[in-house]
Amino acid sequence: MFKTAAGYFFLQLSLTGLVINLVSLIPLIRMMKRGDTQFVYLIAIITTLNAAISLFINCVYFAPTIIASHYIFADTVNALGPMIMTNIVQFSWYNGLFLMILMVTNRIVYLVLKKTEIFTKQRIIIFCVLAAVLSFFKILVNDFVIPCCIVYLDHEKYGYAIYNPKNKTDWSGYIDSSISIPVFVGTAFCYIVIYITLRNSAKEEMHQTVDKHQQKMRARERSAAVQFAYISLYYMITYATLRLTPLIFGEDHLETNMITPVVYALDGCATGWVFMFVNEEVKNEIFKRIFKSNQVQSQEPVGNTETNVNAAPVADNPEWMMYNQNFT
């Protein structure tokens, strides 16, 4: 009974996050088409799609295995079906690390270095392609070079489980830590620099005369930095959960495997949530579509001879003046 309830809870959580991300894509695409000189919305779209990958696997595979209490497309945890599904989730995780670098680099270049010509649409696409290739290469290393300690989606443990029957050294975990920790530390340091720069520039703007358009553009730049920082922070919390839960609950306890995928799913939800409700332009676009009302002015019926008290005087209406002159 508890396992079925846990499966449905995880399914609803992942499905909610998937819907949030897909709904947020619509206004993000519209805002990008209207004007995206800094390519903030292009990066946001790619990040949202990446977050939706793991949520999709949770909905179509992982949560159903927990509810059904058996593996889909396989009989054991280390079979081909679970391995493919796990690799897709890991691809989304590794790719998210590279997107963190892209987000913070974009804000550093625009807000701190004041360089507007470095980022182009072509360069961003090339970076994302290289990030996908490197993420795929890291998965191949995990599967074929150091396959002793692969992380699987295991319904029996309600979460992620490391398959290591011979109790070998987890070199894959050490490699992941050597990649993730420097990325997180460097990202956090860069956002601190961005915060200090924005704080100093805000003090300088108090003594400057800035028109409304410039104020709007600067507010947009700062808002994008805050949104990217939130997403990176949630990513760091997810990684910290993955590393700390074995130390807190022990490696053999149910909570160790169960908490991490829930936190990871919440991280996927947060990606779409940040773009949907922290970005004012996207939020206004959504609310405009939801609460759109077409006000149709009522017209007087044909044959109504009542005088309209709001009608303009004859002297103020050139057409009526010309009409009267023709009859005088």
pLDDT by residue for the chain (328 residues), tens digit each?
677 888 888 899 999 999 999 999 988 998 888 877 788 999 999 999 999 999 999 999 888 988 888 888 777 777 888 888 889 999 999 999 999 999 999 999 988 888 878 888 899 999 999 999 999 999 998 888 887 777 777 777 777 777 776 777 777 888 888 999 999 999 999 999 999 988 888 776 666 666 676 677 777 788 888 999 999 999 999 989 888 887 887 776 777 778 888 888 998 898 888 988 888 888 888 777 777 644 333 344 433 434 443 444 444 444 334 334 443 4
DSSP H or E segment with residue 150: strand 150-154
* Residue 321 lies inside a defined structural domain of this protein: no
184-192 — which CB contacts under 8 Å span 24+ positions? 184/232, 184/235, 184/236, 184/239, 186/101, 186/104, 187/100, 187/101, 187/104, 187/232, 187/236, 188/232, 188/236, 190/104, 190/105, 190/107, 190/108, 191/104, 191/107, 191/225, 191/229, 191/232
**Rounded Cα gap, residues 171 and 177, in angstroms:** 10
* Residue 286 lies inside a defined structural domain of this protein: yes
* Residue 124 lies inside a defined structural domain of this protein: yes
CB contact at 8 A, 115 and 107: no
Question: Letter for the amino acid at 190?
Answer: C
Count other Cβ atoms within 10 Å, centred on residue 147: 15
Residue 125 token pair = 């696409």
Question: Letter for the amino acid at 78?
Answer: N
* Residue 328 lies inside a defined structural domain of this protein: no
Residue 239 token pair = 């990684």
* Residue 255 lies inside a defined structural domain of this protein: yes
CB contact at 8 A, 78 and 163: yes
* Residue 10 lies inside a defined structural domain of this protein: yes
Task: Give the count of domains, the chain.
Answer: 1
Range of the domain at 192: 1-291
CB contact at 8 A, 70 and 43: no
Instruction: Specify the CATH number for the domain of residue 17.
Output: 1.20.1070.10
CB contact at 8 A, 278 and 284: no
CB contact at 8 A, 295 and 40: no
Helix 254-277 vs helix 40-57: angle between axes, to the nearest 10 degrees? 150
End-to-end CA distance of the chain, in Å? 94
Query: In angstroms, how far is CA 262 from the centroid of its own chain?
Result: 17
* Residue 312 lies inside a defined structural domain of this protein: no
CB contact at 8 A, 109 and 115: yes
* Residue 315 lies inside a defined structural domain of this protein: no
Question: Letter for the amino acid at 161?
Answer: A
List Cα–Cα distances, 199 to 32, 69, 106, 193, 202, in angstroms: 27, 53, 18, 10, 5
pLDDT (0 to 100) of residue 208: 63
**Rounded Cα gap, residues 226 and 107, in angstroms:** 10
**Rounded Cα gap, residues 144 and 124, in angstroms:** 30
pLDDT (0 to 100) of residue 317: 43
- Coil, strand or helix at 218: helix
Query: In angstroms, how far is CA 297 from the centroid of its own chain?
Result: 41
